[in-house]
């Protein structure tokens, strides 16, 4: 795999028709070797979009100031969200084994979903920033129960955020409807959702524990690695609940038929 071959004009490879899909690590490796370059590009854009949020939350924690935290949640969350949805869209297309030109499909998805992602970005940015700020400003020895409750809150929040941004990449629906679906999916497929959040937390913990030695890993794996693992965990539940691939195929076929009819 030419991991850093930035050729936006080369069509993406597909998979043999009707080939049974692999599972677990073989499926992860199959997706990575086929679409790893696209993952890295979309992940770098997502990482760059997340820099204002990460910097704002870090500054709020080290200065013990609430105002930078609020700014990070509102401004940083809004800036970060469209790129996160774009990365979700890139990985979801790979999970559907959908061939295509990455840059063209990424730009279309970004334009289509940018506006819808802003409010969720602000809401989850504020909530997650508040949780992180509180964890760093609570005496763990004196408040073990409170710390446990906060960790459960972070766990649930990450699960809801993951399922929310994933749906934004897939559905056209109000934020309230998407949030309700996210809660139902989280509860209905709790083991898979828990596994997805675990991947996210383990990656974040590893980067934090080994920082700054982990900087090269961040540049290489940015946000695509944990999100690929997380989406691979929850995708079967999404497909079962929404029948995604059948509906997307029907839309694509209808679009091709309309194009053929217009050419005649």
pLDDT in tens, the chain (264 residues): 333 343 434 444 555 556 678 888 999 999 999 999 999 999 999 999 999 999 999 999 999 999 999 999 999 999 999 999 999 999 999 999 888 789 999 999 999 999 999 999 999 999 999 999 998 888 887 878 888 888 899 999 999 999 999 999 998 899 999 999 999 999 999 999 999 999 999 999 999 999 889 999 999 999 999 999 999 999 998 888 887 777 776 665 555 445 445 445
Give 146's contacts (C-beta < 8 A, 6+ positions apart): 138
pLDDT at 78: 96
Angstrom distance (rounded) from CA 69 to CA 55: 10
First to last CA, the chain: 40
Give 40's contacts (C-beta < 8 A, 6+ positions apart): 3, 4, 220, 222, 224
Angstrom distance (rounded) from CA 112 to CA 163: 18
DSSP 118-145: HHHHHHHHHHHHHHHHHHHTS-TTT-HH
Give the phi and the psi of residue 35 in degrees, each rounded to 5: -125, 15
Query: Do 162 and 195 meet the contact criterion of CB atoms below 8 Å apart?
Result: no
Angstrom distance (rounded) from CA 113 to CA 109: 6
pLDDT at 242: 82
Global model pTM greater than 0.75? yes
Q: How far apart, in Å, are the Cα atoms of 164 and each of 48, 141, 207, 231?
A: 21, 34, 24, 12
Question: Which two structure tokens, joined as six digits, stand for 181?
Answer: 């679906």
Query: Do 226 and 161 meet the contact criterion of CB atoms below 8 Å apart?
Result: no
pLDDT at 99: 80
Closest to 84 (Cα-Cα) out of 125, 53, 43, 55: 43
pLDDT at 1: 39
């Amino acid at each position: 795999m030419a991991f850093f071959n930035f050729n936006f004009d080369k069509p993406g490879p597909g998979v043999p028709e009707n080939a049974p899909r692999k599972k677990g690590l073989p499926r992860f490796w199959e997706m990575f070797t086929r679409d790893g370059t696209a993952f890295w590009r979309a992940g770098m854009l997502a990482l760059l979009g997340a820099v204002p949020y990460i910097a704002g939350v870090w500054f709020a924690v080290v200065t013990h100031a609430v105002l930078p935290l609020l700014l990070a949640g509102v401004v940083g969350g809004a800036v970060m969200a469209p790129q996160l949805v774009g990365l979700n869209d890139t990985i979801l297309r790979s999970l559907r084994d959908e061939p295509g030109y990455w840059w063209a499909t990424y730009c279309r998805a970004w334009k289509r979903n940018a506006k819808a992602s802003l409010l969720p970005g602000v809401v989850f940015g504020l909530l997650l920033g508040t949780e992180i700020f509180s964890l760093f400003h609570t005496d763990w020895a004196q408040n073990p129960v409170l710390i446990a409750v906060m960790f459960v809150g972070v766990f649930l929040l990450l699960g809801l955020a993951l399922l929310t941004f994933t749906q934004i990449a897939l559905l056209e629906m109000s934020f309230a409807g998407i949030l309700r679906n996210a809660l139902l999916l989280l509860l209905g497929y709790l083991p898979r959702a828990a596994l997805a959040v675990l991947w996210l937390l383990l990656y974040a913990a590893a980067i934090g524990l080994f920082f700054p030695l982990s900087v090269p890993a961040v540049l290489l794996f940015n946000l695509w690695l944990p999100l690929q693992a997380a989406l691979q965990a929850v995708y079967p539940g999404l497909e079962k609940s929404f029948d995604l691939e059948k509906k997307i195929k029907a839309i694509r076929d209808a679009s091709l038929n309309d194009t053929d009819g217009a050419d005649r």
